[in-house]
Each structure stands twice: as structure tokens, then as C-alpha cells.
Structure 1
């Protein structure tokens, strides 16, 4: 039974609380010292994808990594917690290429999308090198046979990690959006891991969630600091790696349930590529624009429903709409994680919901009156 014998005290883990507090205080420190590092760390308020009203530090990835590191450092040294520490240490080490190259982009604004994508794929490769874990089954005849070959399994894993990490970066557009979605995803992963008895992975999700929550408190709703590419790519790698670990460590869990949990950012990035490539003339698929679903949600809903609020608050109040959409797939995965065919059907339902929402918002069919 889902959440059988659950106690709220399970959430009061010392290492998770340390991760949250460390991330929160590091964010406050970065905000408080922005006059010293702002020449390098500020995100301009001008640009096609800029919805904030003032230059803001975009290096909260530092706080995220420091928070996870603190959670790892303060984890129990008992033999029972050794496996959790191994998972956290692997995430920290393997996630460094994604984080470093993303942070370099935050500081220099000169690291190409291709280079950052390769860095996240390198993190996936490094994750396999450290742990020996890669995707070996997706419950599809023929593909599972191919994944039986180590080289193909590792290559598939690196592409999957790079894709999810880039997808998380794509949805990093409004205050609290990425952090809120990540917390919902980590909750789903953690609940499933707990239900199948993988307590160490469940507690790993809790530590990561603690670090994300510490950043969330400073980021939402007023956007005092942004995740930045370093944070988005590191968080994206972490979520992708947990998505791989869950079915690989627990074969009864369908790999499609992990895909269902990650479906919102993945659908966003695939549709964005399609939209830019085929629906807009002479447009590079990697060219940024302001036509994402969250962008339309801000324009059509948040600005109208909360017309009396400041632009900054309207920015933050866009995110709850997308949290609700992300919660649909994550909640469904928690209930149907054992079934591949049900997970596949639910993925198609989530795609249909996304396309319906996008179509209605793009063509002004779901616009509230002022």
C-alpha cells in the first residue's frame, strides 16, 4: 500500500536539513555580496527569454552543489548509510562536468550550447565509470537486446542524461519554476523508492530536495537569485541519474515510470525543437525564444489573473500553473510505477494535455477576462 507506515518524522533527516540550511545561507551570501561579483555573475534583464525586471545573480548552482556536499558530509557514518553516501558522492563527482561548464557560461557567457550538452553527456559517462550503472532495460523488445551490449547501454545512458539535463535548463525561465518542478519530481522518485524498499535512494532524494528547497526559498517568488546554467545542468544531471538508478536498482519499477516523472521538461524540449525547426522559418533549433509553454502561461494567464501584482510577482506566480502540470505526470507515476503499458499511456495523455494547453494559449482560446 502506498505510503504504508509513513511517518512525517522520516522527512526530518538531519543531513537533509543541513543541505537545505546550507543551500539557503549560501544563496543569501551570494545575494548579499553581489556588488563584489556582480560584474561576472549578474543575469541581464534584457533578452528574448528575460522576464525579470532587474539584473540578478545567476550562480545559485554554487549553493546547490554546496548544499548537497554539506548533506553528504553530515550524513550518518553508520554502515547502514554507506550506500546513500556512495550515491551522493557519485552524483557530486559525476555532476562536476555539467556544473563547471554551466557555471563557466554563467560567468563568461561564452560557452556554446553544444559544449554544455557534451559536458552533461560527459557527466553521464562519468557516472557509469564511477558506479558501473547504465540503462539496461526499457521494456521494449529489441531495444533491450541492444542494451545488453555495454557500449550501446552506456551510449544510450549518456544521451539520456544529456537530454534530461538540457530539458531542465530549458524550463528554467521563471522564479521557482525549475526548483518547484524538481521538488515534485524528487518527491515522486523518493516515494517510489521508499515503496519498493530502496530506502537509501529515497533518502538520497530527500537530501537533494533539501538543497533545492534552500535555493527555492530565495528564488521564489521574488527571484533574488537564479539557478543559472551551472545549477540547471547539475540539477538536470542529478534528476536524470536518479531516474536511471531507480529502475536499475529496482527491476520491478518500469523505466517508463521514470520517463513519466521527467515527461514535462522532456516534452518541452522536444516540442521546442520541433516548433523552431518546422513551425518557424529559417530558425535554428537551438535558438532561444519566448514561445515556451511557461512563457505563454505568463503572458496569457499570470499577467491577466494577477494584473494588479508587480511584474516581479507575476513572474513568480507563473510557476504554480506549471507545477500543477508537472504534478499530473509525477502523481500518476507514483501510482502506476509497476506497469509499463500504463506508464506509456499516461505519457501520451501528458503529451496531449501539453499540446492542448499550448494550442489554446497560443491562439488565445483560454484567456481569462480582466
Structure 2
């Protein structure tokens, strides 16, 4: 549909527009009260503009207008995205309840899957038998979109964290889409990566603006859609694993948060300071070190997903095994050190000695 030159132009256009518009977004946020107030679970100590998602949206829109042949194919996705953006804007201004945001996400997801953006059947390995999902395909589609949207939103706790993890995930998806000839997915990821990187010039620590729910929900929604499109219509059991590996950091951070809140008899939507990034900061990592560490983990999972798709059956099983073990080790190690004071103090002392030796 488009040439490599078209993709480069779309990327640069999205990047430049996002960079150019963000200073105006900062002024707009401050003038009209789209600000994030500090509290006990946040790391910033002053009011911060938090509607940076508008910059990502406008940058991506510029790229999409250049790749305009996609628009007729994607109008249900654009309509659902409009619902997500409206929810995000209102939340950044008025702080909506979790129920209202959840309902809005279901509406947006339902619009998309109602127009056949879903998985019709699954092919079992070792045989050609197909399992047709029927009405469950719509349920699975809505669940996936809502789950990934919230997963990206929940990791948006440090400067540049959600935006960087999203760029890494989208780059992995784009690489796989290019290898498999899914050029609509390539087109979408190119413009989203460009606009998000443009925003990151202002969002990386120390941030001048937060993406807010406008950005986090929008990016989560877009990633959920493009990962579904990469699987479009028919998948094998093993290919279902690919987007889960790519998005392992936000998915498992969210899953552990849900389990933790259930065990502590809290509401699932109740905020806390036990996410992966909170734990790493508690262990003595600086803001920037924490973000870069999670970037590295995300990049590892993205690379693992690419290796997974190019491997033999037994190689794929080996990759899954390594990934699951690594997730468990990270969770156990971070949780153990973060909650055990003697270990935590010893770890901080070790890090202090290492930092001193580097100096």
C-alpha cells in the first residue's frame, strides 16, 4: 500500500508535529487546570500539567492524514478512539471514578469488535482442527482491549515510563508485522511511535508534562488494537502468546496488582505503591535508573517475542519457559527485597558502595 519512503515521512511528520505541539499543550493544561496534584503515592511534589496525550494524538493524526488510505479501513477504531480520548480528557480535568472509566472503555472496545475486529477461530497445534469461538470472539476482543488499555494506564507512574514501554512494545509489534506482511499494522505503529517519541522529549525525567489518562488510555487502546490486528481473524494457540510476551511488563504488573489487592481485601481499582516501579525506587534505584531498568526488561521481552515467532515448536516452548521463569524471578526478587527490611537495607548499602566506587 505504501513504500518505505512513505513510512519514513509519516514517522518524521508525527514526530515533528508532536514535538512542536507539546509546548502549546503545556500552556493549555496550565491555563485550563489540567494538572496532576501530588499525593502520598506519587513521586512528584508540585502541580504538573497532565494532558500530554493530546500531543501524542495530534502527532499521530498528522501521520494518519498523510497515510490517509487507512482512514476508510479504520473508522470503527477511530470512533472507539474518540470515546477513549473523551474519557481521558474528562479524567485529566475532573478525575473520574474507576467505574465511569471502565464503562467508557467497554463502550469503545464494543464499537471496535462489533465491526469485526476480533479473532474468529483458533487452530490447535499438531493438528488442523479449528475451534470457532462464535459469540465468545466478541467477549475475548472486548476483554483484551480493556485489559491492555488499563495495563498501560497502570504503569504510568514515573516520568517517561508508560511512553517508553509503549514505544518498545510498538516497535516489537511493528517488527513482527513487517516480517509477516501486515502493513496496516506497520503503518499504524510507525505514526504512533513517531508521535510518542516526540512527546517523550518533554516527558522523560525530569518531565515537563505528564501524558495523563488522555495519553495512557489512548496508547493502551491503540496497542491493544494493533496487537489484535496482528493476529487478525485466525490464530494458533502459540501465536496468542506473542502479544502477551511483548506486553509482559504491563500485563504482569497489572495481574500482580489485582492479586495483591484481592489478598489484601482491597478494591481492585484501589491505588497503591507496590507496582514494579515503586518497588525499584524503594530498593534505592533513582527515578531515571528505575525507568531505564524497566525499559531494558521490556526490550528483552520484545526480543523474546520476535525469537519466539522465528523458532521451531520446541524452541518456542523453551522461550515461553524462560520468559515465565524470568517473570517469576523478577517478581519474587523485587517483592522479597522491597518488603524485607534487613535485605532492603543491605541492598541499598550495596548500591551505595557501587555508586561510590564509580565516582
TM-score, with normalisation over the residues of structure 2? 0.85
* Pair 350,86 (structure 1): closer, same or farther in 2 beyond 3 Å: farther
Alignment partner of 1:353 is 2:345: no
> What is the CA distance between 1:203 and its match in structure 2?
2.5
Which residue of 2 is the match for residue 124 of structure 1?
A: 109
Residue 20 and residue 210 in structure 1: after superposition, are their counterparts in 2 closer, same or farther (change >3 A)? same
Whether 2:83 is the aligned partner of 1:97: answer yes
Which string of whole-angstrom CA distances, capped at 9 and with x for unpartnered residues, describes residues 167-208 of structure 1?
Answer: 111100000100110011011001011111223321321111
Distance 1:118 1:354, change over 3 A: farther
User: 1:93 Cα shift?
Assistant: 2.4
CA distance in 2, matches of 1:150, 1:119: 24
Partner of 1:3: none
Per-residue deviation, 1:11 = 9.3
- Count of residues paired in the alignment: 337
**Is it true that 1:267 corresponds to 2:279 in the alignment?**
no
Alignment of 1:174-193 (within 5 A): 174-193=158-177
Residue 48 of structure 1 corresponds to 40
Structure 1 length-normalised TM: 0.83
Unaligned runs of 5+ in 2: 353-359
What's the offset of the Cα at 1:269?
0.7
Matched, 1:13 2:13: no
Q: Which residue of structure 2 aligns with residue 65 of structure 1?
A: 57
Give the aligned CA root-mean-square deviation in angstroms. Answer: 2.7
Q: How does 1:292-331 map to 2 (within 5 A)?
A: 292-303=275-286, 315-331=287-303
Q: 1:321 to 1:343 in 2, by over 3 A?
A: same
Aligned residues of 2:60 and 2:191 also touching (Cα < 8 A)? yes
Q: Distance in 1 between matches of 2:273 and 2:59?
A: 31
**Could you tell me whether the CA contact under 8 Å between 1:48 and 1:288 is conserved in 2?**
no
Looking at structure 2, the residues matched to 336 and 183 of structure 1 have their Cα atoms a distance apart, in angstroms, of 20
- Cα deviation for residue 323 of structure 1 reads 0.7
Q: Which runs of 5+ in 1 are unaligned?
A: 1-8, 304-314
Q: CA deviation at 1:356?
A: 2.9
Shift of 1:146: 10
Determine if the alignment matches structure 1 residue 169 to structure 2 residue 153. Answer: yes
1:369 maps to: 351
- How far 1:347 sits from its partner (Å)? 4.3
